[in-house]
Structure 1
Amino acid sequence: MENHKPPFTITNEILSYVSSISEKLGRITATINLEAKPHLRKNNRIKSIHSSLKIEANSLSLGQVRDVINGKTVLGEQREIQEVKNAYAAYERLSEINPYSIKDLKQFHGIMTKYVVEESGVFRRGEEGVFNGDQCIFMAPPARLVPELMNNLFDWMEKEKNSVHPLILSSVFHYEFVFIHPFSDGNGRMARLWHTAILSKWKPIFEYIPIESQIAKFQDEYYNAIAKCHTDGASTIFIEFMLSQIDKILYDISIQSSEDNEQLSEYIKKLLHVMEYDVPYTSKALMEKLDLKSKEGFRRNYLRPAIDRNLIRMTIPDKPNSRNQRYVKF
């Protein structure tokens, strides 16, 4: 179909989010030097991978995903471990992706689904539907139409990439991709990877912003937005949803970065320095790392101020004095 345009409407809400996101990106870029923070970059990448796979029912914890990526032995289902290895291989090559190339799309689907999907790196040959129990709630377009639909989508992106804002274009692609459902498996993972790839071509900082973790927090709303768009026949609601989530995660990052750049006490700086991201510590372990003897002084000068600034969290927030309490650096 020549000059096919995916149906969507640019609303005032969408324009407002684009403006808000652009403003936050400017602030974050000015305050965070990710090039000087390889640990933060890797931590965010692990969050992206864990969240994207979790949405697809991978049961490995964040710690297990981290261990797989770091080459440690993990007890778990082999398929799920392989999914982590595949996703890490794909995300590590994110900067190589040409998001306007179907050839690259198939290549990276092959990387993302290596050893776990029979039809890896090729468009599906069979019919696919989305089921809720025994009930089919969405039937994807016939397999024979997939190549044409994908060509139309990529032709539209290539044609409009300089006129449609990347924040909008990436969201339209995400929805249209999910609707077409071009692969037999791995469509959700690929849609989220490609969304990030499109945004990273616009602003490289998106390569290390874990949008997937934000989607995972609002997974029901994510699927509801997709379902509403199926009913409406347009991706407007999904664009608004995705931009709201991107705006939220950038807000969280900007708040944390501004706090990081305030005059944090030397106590908090020392505490953060001895903690690895997402590793749970007992108060005793942290006191040993800091060579402290006074439990009260540790809580007053180090622990409580860091918790109040949302720089670390309790694993059991409802029971702050629990003997099983652990503390985790965000």
Structure 2
Amino acid sequence: MGKYEPPYTISNKMLELVSSISEKVGKISSHRELEARPHLRKNNRIRSIHSSLKIEANSLSLAEVRDVINGHLVLGDQKEIQEVKNAYAAYEKISEINPKSMSDLIKIHGIMTYRTVEESGVFRKGEEGVFSGDQCIFVAPAPNMVNELMKDLFSWVKSSEGTIHPLIVSAVFHYEFVFIHPFADGNGRMARLWHTVMLYRWRNVFEYIPLESQIERFQAEYYDAIAKCHVNGNSDVFIEFMLSMIDQVLDEVIIQVNKTNESMSEYVKRMLEVMEYDVPYTANAIMEALHLKSKETFRKNYIKPAIELGLIKMTLPEKPNSKNQRYVKQ
């Protein structure tokens, strides 16, 4: 029996999207834009986690996810809060993960599902199906087939290195992973994380590209593309869909970076330099660090534009003039 080859066919649309994505990644990477913008990197990481969990029906808001990650008290469902902590821990491992390692996949699943599912860090032992409401739209392969199917998939990933573009390989892997459905829970989260890991190994800028946010915006189309591939018996539709999602989210990141470049004044840059991330500062403490005397100058030239750009936030946004107000660099 020959080695496994996932069924797909390269189309002109795929090639056009690969070219477009490569050009846009080059624009971001050549100027090291995200490396110079830690606030954008962190914001995008939080958006990725929030969106990937929201797709799986986690109800925590973006602000609540941010607070959980920053170690603040959040009143909510404890399982959902744990899911955020788990996802953050898993995403923090991106640079360490070997995307061609099945043992790494199983290990990261253990982190992603820690204390939230019974079968954590192991392949499923039972039958699984994908449901839309009460209707079963897809029955996953039998559990006794999972290990061999995953071995075949990882063997293909290894053999594709240097011959198939990573943008294509990562999309094929994502679809095949969803098809195999190797875990009892957490398959969607793991598929999206692994897609990001594979893209990161191609170009490290993808560590902080919020691809999951783009998928969440087009969640219905995401599931529709998967369903069409199940019917067609190949991953062509899904590959084109994911490439278009990556292409679109890169446009957003370029705009995000340009907006910050154009809008951030020297005043704001100076203020950010004297502030640590996630540390609450009083206005007086920041003014003292900047050697400022005028509160009006501080408000007009420093605080107001930084808040508008999303670079800092108020701890009491509903009470902007409170004596207990603090400012936090994001």
Rate the CA distance shift 1:150–1:32 in 2: closer, same or farther, 3 A.
same
Q: Which residue of 2 aligns with 1:145?
A: 145
Q: Which residue of 2 aligns with 1:101?
A: 101
Q: Which residue of 2 aligns with 1:58?
A: 58
Percent identity between the two aligned chains: 64
CA distance in 2 between partners of 1:164 and 1:8 (Å): 12
Q: 1:161: how far off?
A: 1.8
With normalisation by structure 2, the TM-score equals: 0.82
Q: Which residue of 1 aligns with 2:28?
A: 28
Q: Which residue of 2 aligns with 1:177?
A: 177
CA distance in 2 between partners of 1:276 and 1:47 (Å): 21
* Count of matched residue positions in the alignment of Structure 1 and Structure 2: 308
Letter in 1 for 2:186: G
Q: Does residue 195 in structure 1 map to residue 191 in structure 2?
A: no
CA distance in 2 between partners of 1:114 and 1:48 (Å): 19
Unaligned runs of 5+ in 1: 278-289, 313-322
Secondary structure, aligned partner of 2:35: helix
Q: Which residue of 2 aligns with 1:280?
A: none
Rate the CA distance shift 1:188–1:108 in 2: closer, same or farther, 3 A.
same
CA distance in 1 between partners of 2:257 and 2:216 (Å): 22
Q: 1:262: how far off?
A: 4.0
Q: Which residue of 2 aligns with 1:221?
A: 221
CA distance in 2 between partners of 1:210 and 1:276 (Å): 24
With normalisation by structure 1, the TM-score equals: 0.82
Q: Which residue of 2 aligns with 1:244?
A: 244
Q: 1:3: how far off?
A: 1.2
Unaligned runs of 5+ in 2: 278-293, 311-317, 320-328
Q: Which residue of 2 aligns with 1:254?
A: 254
Write the deviation string for residues 3-61 of structure 1: whole angstroms up to 9, x where unpaired.
11000111000000000000001111123433333222221111111110000000000
Q: 1:250: how far off?
A: 0.5
Secondary structure, aligned partner of 1:35: coil
Letter in 1 for 2:68: V
Q: 1:232: how far off?
A: 0.5
Letter in 1 for 2:69: I
Q: Which moved further from structure 2: 38-47 or 91-100?
A: 38-47
CA distance in 2 between partners of 1:259 and 1:170 (Å): 30
CA distance in 2 between partners of 1:135 and 1:101 (Å): 34
Q: 1:252: how far off?
A: 1.3
CA distance in 1 between partners of 2:264 and 2:71 (Å): 35
Write the deviation string for residues 141-196 of structure 1: whole angstroms up to 9, x where unpaired.
11111111111100000001211100010000000000000000000000001000
Rate the CA distance shift 1:160–1:77 in 2: closer, same or farther, 3 A.
same
Q: Which residue of 2 aligns with 1:120?
A: 120
CA distance in 2 between partners of 1:30 and 1:70 (Å): 31
Letter in 1 for 2:140: A
Q: Which moved further from structure 2: 133-142 or 94-103?
A: 133-142
Secondary structure, aligned partner of 1:199: helix
